[in-house]
Amino acid sequence: MESAANLIESFALFKEDKNIDRATLMSIIEDVFRSMLVKKFGSDKNFDIIVNPDKGDVEIFKNRVIVDDEFAEDSFDYDENKHISYSDAKKIEPDFEIGEEVSEKLPLEAFGRRAVLSVRQNLVQKILELQKSDIYNKYKEKVGEVITAEVYQVWKKEILLVDDEGNELLLPKSEQIPSDFFKKGDAVKAVVSKVELKNGSPIIIVSRTSPVFLERLFENEVPEIFDGLITIKNIVREPGERAKVAVESYDDRIDPVGACVGMKGSRIHGIVRELKNENIDVINFTQNIPLYIQRSLSPAKITTIKLDDDTKRAQVYLKPDQISLAIGKGGYNIKLAGKLTGYEIDVYRDSDTAGIENEDVDLEEFADEIESDIIDKLKAIGCDTAKAVIELNDEELLRRTGLDIETINHVRSILESEFED
């Protein structure tokens, strides 16, 4: 038969491992034992349970009132769980008198093996429930915080991490930077993005692609942001490729961009490394929308901007050599600039400078090879020369002209062959 001391000792060790506070564990133990008493005796009202965490044991006392032997033998009100006959009480202590209360210590073995096993199972279940609730509440408060955890297992669709207390966290593939590569034992830094309960168990999701992750990295690297001297107004990301961060300072003496970048890029280099060489543009926020769009398209230099506030569209005119810079590799620069400013940005070739390119050819020169309606659609978006078309990527041409990819490829091959010749 397993003793009470062994039961309590095992859960005292459990408490130390899982950081369950002493008072809570003692309360759980008492509740479980009271349930056992109710099951066996129908009530727990005349029982005392004393849990001693220092000694690692539990004591159960049954309290009964001494009644005369005649009452014990003949009365219908006699309850052996509440009363004890005078003659039986004197066997325990000769000095007892009728009306006094007798407290008897009940050994755990008196409840039987099944009851002991049931107590243990109930304790395990309640402590596990408490642990799950504790983990859920702990991480619910950590949403938006950066944590570091160790890779425990790598699967195809997600990575299982464990924190320093052994709690499990999930890093889904969708929340990983495309170039991330982790193996068992690696330390991973991520932001807690979501905590939910599933079948009573906490599911903790962390992310490395969230803009919040980048924001927290800036807070850790730039004291002025942490102290509130510089405010991050907006962050947009294409994880692993490019990010744009708009910052503002309410103190004219502080250069927000310079503070974020640091001397010779000292502050931002650590962030870039953590994000697998993600290209980060830090720009000054402004309420002046044309200037904000201009800054967001950096490093391209804009000649003219025309805004339509009703449709939230911006027509941006640039010199021919600036178009590719504005669009950026894979179109990420213009895409992120649009997300940052809230405007759909269309890039046009500046007609005033088009004539500078002596080697360029007007689209009308290709009228015998390209249908006139296609030429009209290209000219309608500011592409009136061959190079203006070539400098736009397929995605941009598809979106702005409405032509299909086969037509665009056909036009591109005709125009490119002109310069090859």
Spatial contact of 28 and 12, defined as CB atoms under 8 Å apart = no
CATH number of domain containing 411? 1.10.150
pLDDT at 266 over 80: yes
CA distances for 13 relative to 10, 30, 83, angstroms: 5, 17, 39
The encoded tokens of residue 360 equal 């360029």
The CATH number for 72's domain is: 3.30.1480
Same domain, 42 and 152: no
pLDDT in tens, 86-103: 787 777 878 787 888 888
Written as one letter, the residue type at 318 is: L
Q: Are residues 189 and 128 in the same domain?
A: no
Last residue of one domain, picked from the residues 187, 209, 231: 209
- Token digits of residue 139: 């991480």
108 plus 165 within the same structural domain:
no
Question: Are 88 and 184 members of one domain?
Answer: no
> At which of 194, 209, 224 does a domain end?
209
Give 159-175 pLDDT, tens digit per residue: 999 999 889 999 999 99
Residues 122 and 163 in one domain: no
pLDDT digits (tens, 9 = 90+) for 377-411: 888 887 888 888 888 888 888 888 889 999 999 99
- Cβ–Cβ contacts within 10 Å for residue 218, how many? 23
pLDDT surpassing 80 at residue 369? yes
The answer on 190 and 73 residing in a single domain is no
Mean pLDDT over residues 349-361, rounded? 58
Q: How many residues does the chain have?
A: 421
Residue 30: is it exposed, middle or buried by C-beta count within 10 angstroms (0-12/13-18/19+)? middle
Query: Are residue 34 and residue 126 in the same domain, yes or no?
Result: yes
Which H helix or E strand runs over 50? strand 47-52
- Kindly state whether residue 299 falls inside one of the protein's structural domains: no
The answer to whether residues 389 and 363 touch, using CB atoms and an 8 Å cutoff, is: yes
Q: Comparing 284 with 13, which gets the higher pLDDT? A: 284
Question: What pLDDT score was predicted for residue 19?
Answer: 59
**Would you say the C-alpha torsion 229, 230, 233, 239 has a positive or negative sign?**
negative
d(CA 306, CA 304): 7
Per the domain annotation, does 205 fall within a domain?
A: yes
Query: Both 11 and 133 in a single domain?
Result: yes
Which H or E element spans position 36? helix 22-41
Look at residue 13 in the predicted model and tell me its pLDDT.
53
Residue 293, pLDDT score: 94
| 159 and 56 belong to one structural domain | no
Q: Please, what is the end-to-end C-alpha distance for the chain in angstroms?
A: 96
Q: How many domains does the chain have?
A: 3
In-domain check, residue 270: no
Q: How far is 377 from 407, CA to CA, in rounded Å? A: 12
Query: In terms of pLDDT, which residue wins out, 359 or 206?
Result: 206
pLDDT of residue 155: 95
Answer yes or no: are the C-beta atoms of 260 and 268 closer than 8 Å.
yes
Are 113 and 51 found together in one domain? yes
Q: Identify whether 12 is part of a domain.
A: yes
pLDDT of residue 11: 56
Same domain as 156, residue 61: no
pLDDT of residue 228: 92
Full residue range of the structural domain in which residue 370 is found = 357-420
Compute the mean pLDDT over every residue in the chain, rounded to the nearest whole number.
Answer: 85
Between 405-420 and 394-401, two packed helices, what is the crossing angle to 10 degrees? 120
State the Cα–Cα distance between residues 54 and 5, nearest whole angstrom.
11
Whole-number Å distance between alpha carbons of 299 and 281: 9
Do residue 63 and residue 88 come from a single domain?
Answer: yes
Query: 0.85 exceeded by the pTM?
Result: no
**Structure confidence by residue, pLDDT tens digits, 103-117:** 888 777 767 677 767
For position 148, which CATH number holds? 2.40.50.140
> pLDDT tens-digit profile of 184-218?
999 999 999 999 988 888 999 999 999 999 999 99
Residue 355 confidence (pLDDT): 43
Residue 21 neighbours by CB distance under 10 Å:
11
Question: Which of 170, 192, 209 marks a domain boundary?
Answer: 209
1 pLDDT tier (thresholds 50, 70, 90) = very low
